[in-house]
Amino acid sequence: MVSVNVERCKGCGACVDACPTGAIYLVEGIATIDAGRCDACGACVDVCPHEAITIDRPSAVEVVPMQAPLARPAIQPVAVQRPSLWAVAWPSVGAALAFAAREVVPRVVNELLTAWDRRASQPTPTDSALRARPPVDRSASTLGQRRRRRRRGGNRSRE
């Protein structure tokens, strides 16, 4: 509890400016403290040049000696359940999937669409382009030469 010594207080107002809760005000040139708003922070005590404000603290705290227990209870071992590998790895897997969905997948899709557009823009062979090719000679003499080459094989040393 904060109290003001009226004999020492000169009404300078330094404590009014220092109070963070606004619990101090001047009445007829003497500092007055509203106990309902005061939180006993001690800011007013530090700034008072006449040492007129004091904080009254309880002088003695009653200490009751504790009695020691007669017998200690047996300590039961606690089984510690370790998390599974999946529970430990899941945040990393989730982060990897989020990265792939955000960064990798759009790039792959973009490349595939670009390749598809390039392929679609290439001219396709028309019937007239197929007819413009030179005809293939399928005469009997050519077929016979091929058969002879096959019979001989790759060994030309017999010639």
Q: Which domain CATH number covers 18?
A: 3.30.70.20
pLDDT tens sequence across 20-66: 888 888 888 888 888 888 888 888 888 898 888 888 766 555 666 66
Query: Among 44, 48, 38, which residue's Cα sits nearest to residue 12?
Result: 48
Q: Determine the pLDDT at residue 159.
A: 46
More confident residue, 152 or 66: 66
**This prediction's pTM:** 0.36
Residues 48 and 6 occupy one common structural domain = yes
- In a shared domain, residues 6 and 51: yes
Same domain, 51 and 92: no
| Domain co-membership, 7 together with 51 | yes
Domain that holds residue 37: 2-55
In the chain, the number of structural domains is 2
- Whether 62 maps to a domain, the answer reads no
Q: Is residue 64 part of a domain?
A: no
pLDDT digits (tens, 9 = 90+) for 69-120: 666 667 777 777 777 777 777 788 888 888 888 888 899 999 999 999 988 8
Give domain status of residue 81, yes or no.
no
CA 91 to chain centre: 11
